[in-house]
Structure 1
Amino acid sequence: MTRRHLAPLAAGLGSLALLAACSDTDGTIAVSGDEFMVPTTYSFESQFEAGASSVSYQGQVCRQTLIIALDNAVRDASEISSSEYRGSSVPYFDDTIAGDIAAQNTQTVLGTTLPVPEAVDTLGELCGTKHLKEKFAGNDTVTDWKDWNTEFQGVSGQSNAEAFLRDLITAVSNQAEQGTNAPGEPHYVSTTGIDYAQYIQKFLLGAVVFAQGTDDYLDNDPATPGKGLLASAEQAGSNPYSALEHQWDEGFGYFGAARRYADRSDDVNRDGVVDDNNDGFIDVRSEHNFGASTNAAKRDVGADPSSPTDFTTAAFEAFLTGRAVITAAGVGFDDMSSDQQAALLTARDDAVSTWEQAIAATIVHYINDVLDAMAERDTNASAGLADLAKAWAEMKGFALGLQFNPASPMNVGSRFADLHALLDDQPALTNDPTYRQDLLEARALIGTTYGFSQANLEAW
């Protein structure tokens, strides 16, 4: 089922020449001689219902929140030790959100300082019948660019992405129930130096969030007409948006940025929660940054001053521009002019490329943290496993996610396999010189693949 339908993405930050910038005023872009506005916030009025917003991606916010809820469960020893986490119906992942899980308060799950609006203040209200498994790589087979039930890579002896996830959840549940965790460390840290909480969460961000965003909603695969950029420009039922507008919005929802992302500093966006309209609530559908959007800001903040990056602006401008092209064109992709198609594809490529660069930069960050933790254990006999286990699990979990983007430059040739051979399936528990060298080679491979400067490879 291997299909390669997007050209490998370039390493540069953004190739679309915009007159619009993330500033206090809207900008314009010209396509086929027609100028139209590109807003500085992710706000687009409905073409079908006067005065209504056409932006909606609550399902994506739901699944971002469910990943956090499952992470919370893994970190709760009494919860994760329950036998249901070792069964075929894992809470948050399998089946419709219901019962006690549906009654959970969204504010509590996310840990926001302000309440969430009543319409989405419980997981049941936010998610309805949605859950994680239905959008996990290998289960949404209409759009999957590989068969993730047989072609999953990056972990020795594993070829099924879902089976691997279930193995991780079962392992931490057993460990918590039996007390076989590393002595003196949290119940989710193994004696082999794996932080299961971080590993599961970061793997889900790849196998649900990044996979769906890049290989479904922002794709234009001719083999899946009606999906992604090939969706209809007609009104979607009675909703105030077209199917095409909604597909793009859902891709944006998986990137995770708040709608006023550009109005905030990187220091604010890295934390990601702001009451932008000052109504005393945090509307998770518009005011909360999730996942990649926060990491993009963290890496921008952490870049070397001699080699600054602006992942946040590049990604957000690309998402704004693509949506503006879709709205202004008012027709489906096949009926757009060649210039409109080119503008939309360029915006999509810039959005996806920058999104992945932020992930790759985050992998570099955790490679550096693993190197530091290994060195600390070499000089400090009392240093525990927790720091090493956390850094390694985040590094490995994020790195596994790269395979789910069909346009990833890491999927060219043997790069992905080479990367994971270097990262290995667990960390070295001492300051092993061979493993240190492997990690430095992995970091260099990422730098070459994405065009990162040596200064940033060391700074992140």
Structure 2
Amino acid sequence: MTMKKTLLASAILTAMLTACGGGSSSDSTPTPSNSAPTDIALSNASVDENATAATIGQLSATDADAGDTFTFSSSDARVAIDGTTLSLAEGVKLNFEDTASIDVEVSVADSAGNSFSKTLTISVNDLLDTYAFPSRFGDGSSVSYGGQTTRHVLIAELNHYIGNQLQNDVETGVLTTKDAVIAKLTSFYAMTAEEYDLVADDFAVQFLDGTRQTVLRDLSSSHKDLSGKIAGNDATGQHKDWNGSDFAGWGATGSTTPENLVYTLFDMLGDNAQAYLDGGIRQDINGNAITSIYLTEDGRDLKQLIQKFLLMSVAYSQGADDYLDYDLDGKGLNSDNVSNKDDKGYTALEHTYDEGFGYFGAARDYLDYSDDELAQKGGRDDWQGMHDTNGDGVIDLNSEYNFGQSTNAAKRDRGATVATDMTAAAMNAFLQGRQIITDADGALTTEQMDALKAQVTIALENWEMAIVATVVHYINDTNADLAKLAAADEDFSYSDLAKHWSEMKGFALGLQFNPKAPLTDAQFEQLHSLIGDMPVMSGDIAAYQADLMTARQLLADAYEIASDNAANW
């Protein structure tokens, strides 16, 4: 019995020691509990309006557990979180005039899965975002660029006529000779002051319905045409002799002029019309009948080629090499900023700068549009390239419509693999430059002039980059069309090839008009040697495709284009 009691006591003692953590060589420490985060902070709680996908600030969490790790998230589609960085989501920008702040719920989870949520208020910084500047000489606006809008409209009307009315006029006997066709085309391009006065009240705006300006006179009371402003014809201050031996890119350098090229293209259209009048049947590379009067048998789309070349040789040339240049005293950015010019409520410098902006073609509230809306590929239904901002029921072509390169900048921004924002960069620079002129309230100091030149440089660099990106885009399209042609692909479209090649060529011809372009003269001539004056559609198509890829790389190197963008634009 004594032995049994001893064994029992020993067993009880062992059990007690084990329960108390004794009697074992291992030290079992209780796992401490993990506390949930108790707060979320944001290093910066504001964002500039109209800044797409802008970084807002860095997120951090308060937690009692030292060294814990955190994962931040938000279900708000307006924002994106990468690690601890809070940004606006891709394609998202905010407008102060729509909302001064937004509330965003952000959640944080620690390593144990404990979470905390908090609503963060992000204020929207009100910036200069509309091209509107008061007159210093009285009530009203100092902004005026009716002549530039008029020329944009003339280019649009010529393009509209070639694409929608010319063929009908030939087929129905309105135009019965090649000379009559050329005369009709010329009526959009060149007119004397006397001719302008005769037609301005009856020259209807037809390229767009529902416009405030219904005839040419509504756009400009005085004589305006395209011929007077094409490179070479308004030669004062231009950096090359375009009507001499300097124009390049079509045939041998110096073999033609910008204006003569326009008339050459008109002549080609006249030949196509005459072929129809003579009962001829023109054929494409595959032997199919060409039914569009503006398509040539050698792969050119004259409607596109004429429009794009005029946008470059008139609008871009005037903007880059005249109004926004500063190589001559009393001209461009060196214009007077003291006197009330002709008592019109603006200075010569204000007006000159506005004219440069007018050739860019942007609506005055350009930054309120998304890239999708500018490209007419999505967004709000009533913002598709234009918007009735003042609510008067019509579109004011001077302020509510986006012309030319302003829309191409958005198309390339939305198509970029590596994000670009040429639209905002160009417009913000135009706005900041104009504000410098307004704030000077007289002659600019050296510091103000340097700041103005810096903004103009940014605006022109992004304007030109939009052009270059568009050339790259059409190089890629043309290359894809040629691949289908070479493979006898049933999806090959002759009209697509002609369109894409002609847009590529028309825009590429304009890269010589900016005196400060990064492309050298030798590179420009090499570019056009590779592109040629028409697409190669037979024989060694592959060699021509290789030339196009070389041309693309030349542009990518000169303009420092990301390789993914060059390949995918």
- Which residue type is aligned with residue 297 of structure 2? T
State whether structure 2 residue 237 is matched by structure 1 residue 143.
Answer: yes
CA RMSD of the aligned region, Å?
Answer: 2.1
Q: Does the CA contact (< 8 Å) of 1:24 and 1:40 recur in 2?
A: no
Aligned ranges 1:193-212 → 2 under 5 Å: 193-212=299-318
How far apart are residue 413 of structure 1 and its match? 4.6
Equivalent residue, structure 2, for 1:274: 387
C-alpha contact (below 8 Å) 2:484/2:491 kept by paired residues: no
- Larger % of helix: which? 1
Normalised by the size of structure 1, how large is the TM-score?
0.86
Contact 1:230 1:244 in 2 (8 A): yes
Which whole-Å CA distance do the structure 2 matches of 1:147 and 1:176 have between them?
33
Contact 1:21 1:317 in 2 (8 A): no
Answer yes or no: is the 8 Å Cα contact 1:89–1:95 preserved in 2.
Answer: no
Q: Deviations over 1:199-258 (max 9, x none)?
A: 011000111000000111101013xx2211011112111111111001110000000000
Distance 2:200 2:491 in 1: 40
Evaluate the alpha carbon distance shift between residue 140 and residue 100 of structure 1 in structure 2; reply closer, same or farther with a 3 A threshold: closer
Q: Which residue of 2 aligns with 1:326?
A: 437
Q: CA deviation at 1:86?
A: 3.1
| Structure 1 unaligned regions, length at least 5 | 1-18, 27-36
Larger Rg belongs to: 2
1:294 matched to 2:407? The reply is: yes
CA 262–91 in structure 1, closer or farther in 2 if over 3 Å, else same: same
Aligned in 2, Cα 1:235/1:104: closer, same or farther, shift over 3 Å? same
Query: Is the alpha carbon distance of 1:326 and 1:38 closer, same or farther for their aligned partners in structure 2, counting shifts above 3 Å?
Result: farther
- SS in structure 2 opposite 1:312? helix
> CA 1:446/1:103 → structure 2, altered by over 3 Å: closer, same or farther?
same
Q: 1:71 aligns with which of 159, 164, 174?
A: 159
Partner of 2:263: 166
Cα distance in 2 between the residues matched to 1:89 and 1:425: 22
2:218 maps to what in 1? 125
Shift of 1:338: 2.6
Residue 143 of structure 1: CA displacement?
2.3
Displacement after TM superposition at 1:87 (Å): 5.2
Secondary structure of the structure 1 residue equivalent to 2:187 = coil
CA distance in 2, matches of 1:164, 1:88: 17
Q: Is structure 2 residue 556 aligned with structure 1 residue 447?
A: yes
The structure whose RCO (Cα within 8 Å, separation 6+) is larger is 1
Alpha-carbon deviation of 1:102? 4.8
Q: Which amino acid aligns with 1:135?
A: K
Q: Is the 8 A contact 2:158 2:185 kept in 1?
A: no
TM-score by length of 2: 0.70
Q: Which residue of 2 aligns with 1:352?
A: 460
Report if the CA contact (8 A) 2:185-2:266 is conserved.
no
More strand by share: 2
Could you give the per-residue CA deviations for residues 21-76 of structure 1, whole angstroms, max 9, x where no partner exists? 646349xxxxxxxxxx96211111111113x0111111100000101111122222
Call closer, same or farther: CA 1:246–1:78 in 2, change over 3 Å.
same
Note the 1:1-150 alignment, pairs <5 A.
22=50, 24-25=95-96, 39-50=128-139, 52-75=140-163, 76-79=166-169, 83-86=179-182, 90-96=186-192, 97=196, 99=198, 102-106=201-205, 108-109=206-207, 111-112=208-209, 115-117=210-212, 120-128=213-221, 129-150=223-244
For each residue in 1:362-391, what CA deviation from the matched residue of structure 2 results, as whole angstroms up to 9, or x when unmatched? Answer: 000100110111122223257342110000
Task: Give structure 1 regions of 4+ aligned residues with deviation exceeding 4 angstroms.
Answer: 78-82, 98-102
| Residues 53-107 of structure 1: CA deviation (Å, up to 9, x unaligned) | 111111100000101111122222244765244359911111143556752332x
The correspondence for 1:372, drawn from 480, 485, 491, is 480
CA distance in 2, matches of 1:39, 1:290: 21
When residues 203 and 90 of structure 1 are mapped into structure 2, their CA distance, relative to the original with a 3 A threshold, is: same
What is aligned with 1:30?
A: none
Taking the aligned partners of 1:255 and 1:61, their CA distance within structure 2 comes to: 10
Is residue 156 of structure 1 aligned with residue 262 of structure 2? no
Q: Which residue identity is paired with 2:388?
A: D
Pairing partner for 1:191 from 278, 294, 297? 297
Per-residue Cα deviation, 1:114-169 (whole angstroms, up to 9, x for no partner): x222xx22123213311111101111011221111121100114332211110111
Taking every aligned residue pair, what percent have the same amino acid on both sides?
Answer: 40
DSSP 3-state at the match of 2:359: helix
Compared CA separation, residues 67 and 102, structure 1 to 2 (3 A): farther
Distance 2:498 2:308 in 1: 13
CA contact (8 A) 1:84 1:91 kept: no
Question: Relative to 1, partners in 2 of residues 1:413 and 1:170: Cα closer, same or farther, differing over 3 Å?
Answer: closer
Cα gap change, 1:267/1:381 in structure 2, threshold over 3 Å: closer, same or farther? closer
- Higher mean C-alpha displacement, 172-181 vs 237-246: 172-181
Count of paired positions: 417
Query: Residues of 2 paired with 1:166 and 1:261: CA distance?
Result: 34
**Corresponding residue to 1:404 among 501, 507, 513:** 513
